[in-house]
Structure 1
Amino acid sequence: MLYLDDLKPGDRHTGTSVTVSEEDIFAFARQFDPQPFHLDPEAAKGTVFRGLAASGWHTAALTMRMIVDGPHTFAGGFIGMGVESLAWPRPVRAGDTLTAESEVLEVRPSTKRPDQGVVRVRVVTRNQNGEDVLHWTANLLVQRRSPADASAEVDRRAAAE
């Protein structure tokens, strides 16, 4: 469990991986983004994607799932305050295996609420070839340790140095 006090710019965390099947693409598209290039492989050949592609929103949802299921969780959960940027530089295809990595860009303790703060993170999701399929930069609300826990953590870090 990570608290605001545990984070610093440059920290990187890798989530789990997921392999996307054709049926996964169809199921998400049927429910949330029913466009031909997500539902019909033949029709998709004549589009900008030149074949079946997962919805960008499907990629974003999978990215969120990989982060949440990853080994580095935030106390109180991943509470989004807003997304500054979101891009899908390359489509996700059936059979792609995706991995998400987040990098802490900024850590700001709250001046109004001493029990929390904001972490600005950049998330990149890549396919099995190391090609970027999603980028987002977001601000997350993260809990701070209790004052007693924070003092103990400072003492522990000082002793380790």
Structure 2
Amino acid sequence: MQYYEDIEIGDTQECGEYTVTKEEILEFAEQYDPQPFHTDEEAAAESAFGELVASGWHTASICMRLLVDGSIRDQASMGARGVDELRWKRPVRPGDTLSVRTEVVDKRVSESDPKRGYVDSRLEGINQNDEVVISWIGLGMVERRNPDA
């Protein structure tokens, strides 16, 4: 288990790989983001994207799953305080394969709860062409191994 004390500013990690299908783009969009360029191939062809693209929220969800499976699962995570600087940089299309890379950009002990440390990490979702499709800074909370030290 990785605790707050085990994490250093500058630590990097790469997580997983996931190929996005047209069917799941349509399914997610129908339920959560039913804009025409996410739900209708003909309408999407006439949009600024020129073809069907995944909702940015779908892309964020895929990256979150890769992050949990890749690093949070083995961390003494206590959740998150939120995200900053969320950006959708490129559309995700059917057949794109996504992976995640992270870098710890800040850490500090909570002033209100010494059992908890704050770890801020930049996440980038990357497609098969090594292009960043999404990024954010996750404001994580990680349990301290020795809060009295």
Normalising TM by the smaller chain, what interval? over 0.9
- Give, as a single letter, the amino acid of the residue that structure 2 aligns with 1:20: V
Paired residue for 1:143?
Answer: 143
TM-score between the two structures when normalised by the length of structure 1? 0.86
Paired residue for 1:41?
Answer: 41
Q: How many residues align?
A: 148
The 2-side partners of 1:111 and 1:95 are apart by: 45
| Aligned counterparts, 1:1-161, within 5 A | 1-71=1-71, 73-77=74-78, 79-146=79-146
Greater percentage in strand: 2
Identity %: 46
TM-score between the two structures when normalised by the length of structure 2? 0.93
In structure 1, the gaps of 5 or more residues are 151-161
CA contact (8 A) 2:37 2:49 kept: yes
Following superposition, the deviation at residue 147 of structure 1 comes to 5.2
Secondary structure of 1:50 counterpart: coil
The 1-side partners of 2:80 and 2:115 are apart by: 17
- Give, as a single letter, the amino acid of the residue that structure 2 aligns with 1:81: R
In structure 2, the gaps of 5 or more residues are none
Secondary structure of 1:26 counterpart: helix
Following superposition, the deviation at residue 71 of structure 1 comes to 4.3
The 2-side partners of 1:2 and 1:88 are apart by: 30
The 2-side partners of 1:26 and 1:92 are apart by: 13
The 2-side partners of 1:118 and 1:40 are apart by: 42
- Give, as a single letter, the amino acid of the residue that structure 1 aligns with 2:124: V
Following superposition, the deviation at residue 138 of structure 1 comes to 2.2
Whichever of the two has the greater Rg, that structure is 1
